[in-house]
Amino acid sequence: MATLAQAPSRPAPAAPPAPGPLSRLGPNWYAAVMGTAIVANAGAALPLTAPGLRTGYRLVWALSALLLLTLLAARALHWLRHGDQARRHLLDPTVAPFYGCLAMALLAVGGGTLAVGRDVIGEPAALAVDVVLWTAGTLTGLAAAAAIPYLMVTRHRIEPGSATPVWLLPLVAPMVSAALGPALVPHLPPGQGRQALLLACYALFGMSLLATLLVLPLVLSRLIHHGPLPLALTPTLFLVLGPLGQSTTAVSNLATAAPGAVDAPTAHAMGAFAVLYGVPVTGFALLWLALATALVVRAARHGMGFAMTWWGFTFPLGTCVTGAAGLARHTGLHAFTWLAVALFAALVTAVAVTASRTASGLLSGRLLAPPR
């Protein structure tokens, strides 16, 4: 009787290696670069001359530049090794808007390089860096401002009443370009180049402002009809301050750059617009700041713990500092100077607390640990 030969058993396939911390490094981490860089940018806009301040701004700028280089390298590796997950991020309506943070991180570090970093690397090198980062940040911001809403319409599945301030992130990126682009205007030869860049920044301003005006009512409606945001998302309420403070900064900086780029009557009108627009918007920003602060205090009482969303406290607050400082320049009112200084003190406190909690979370491995 023939015996059946038993087929040799194959070894079980090895389990795929567990994804490392790099796989969980999302685009939201660029918010740490933005929040760090805005301290140097906002400080440079203040009329403060105390000893050591400028040195402090240089150190913060250098830290933000180092963070940007590190994150760009880490995110490049993330796309190479975990491209499928990176693409899933784009299809996730809760993560995709954070791609706007990449553009704003590039722009913030570039603006800080020209405003503060020139003391370290010299003005020609600082100007070259700012031109590269402003161009890259503007193109990235325009792509995000168009692509993310397109994905929200065609690919994302969004429940009614689920709007959050995070939706503003890709829309406010062109406003950051509009606010930082005027610093490049005086470096162009007089004539068509200066005028074109100035008016292009106004176009970026209008693009972002009108898009923001479409989303803000959705956010307020969600809060009124569905109650406060989840605890971890409550700090994102401060993101609403971003387009408010940044647009005020933009019109102020554009009015400053207008003489020499356009004719005198147009430059005068731009200066008047900076005040007539900036003062009411700053008033609304202070109202929203009070509402957002009250909701954050409520969330803290209900057990809100630390999350990377705490970086939402930083960059938007910094734009209010630069906006108030711009109004102080154009109106001469000391009240706006003191407002800018008070907001800057709050900004430094928020960055110090958030950065220390972020460093602690990284050292412990908690922030990049897999979800339970």
Nearest to 211 by CA among 171, 238, 249: 171
- CA 248 to CA 97: how far, in whole Å? 23
- CA 160 to CA 162: how far, in whole Å? 6
| 3-class SS of residue 126 | helix
Position 91 scores a pLDDT of 87
Report the run of H or E that residue 177 belongs to, with start and end: helix 169-180
Produce one character per residue of 350-364: b if its CB has 16 or more CB atoms within 10 Å, e if not: bbeebbebbeebeee
Domains of the chain in start order, with CATH, are 22-364 (1.50.10.150)
Position 51 scores a pLDDT of 81
CB contact at 8 A, 42 and 347: yes
CB contact at 8 A, 94 and 87: no
Position 101 scores a pLDDT of 96
CB contact at 8 A, 291 and 239: no
- CA 13 to CA 144: how far, in whole Å? 41
Q: Which residues contact 170 (CB under 8 A, 6 or more apart)?
A: 97, 99, 100, 141, 144, 145, 147, 148, 149
- How buried is 265 (Cβ within 10 angstroms: 0-12 exposed, 13-18 middle, 19+ buried)? exposed
DSSP string computed for 53-118: HHHHHHHHHHHHHHHHHHHHHHHHHHHHH-HHHHHHHHT-TTTGGGGHHHHHHHHHHHHHIIIIIH
Nearest to 111 by CA among 274, 211, 249: 249
Largest CA distance in the chain: 109
List per-residue pLDDT tens for the chain, 372 residues long: 444 444 444 554 444 444 567 777 889 999 999 999 999 999 999 988 888 899 999 999 999 999 999 999 999 998 888 888 888 888 899 999 999 999 999 999 999 999 999 999 999 999 999 999 999 999 999 999 999 999 999 999 888 888 999 999 999 999 999 999 999 999 999 999 999 999 999 999 999 999 999 999 999 999 999 999 999 999 999 999 999 999 999 999 999 999 999 999 999 999 999 999 999 999 999 999 999 999 999 999 999 999 999 999 999 999 999 999 999 999 999 999 999 999 999 999 999 999 999 999 999 888 887 655
Position 372 scores a pLDDT of 57
State the first-to-last Cα distance of the chain, in angstroms, to the nearest integer: 57
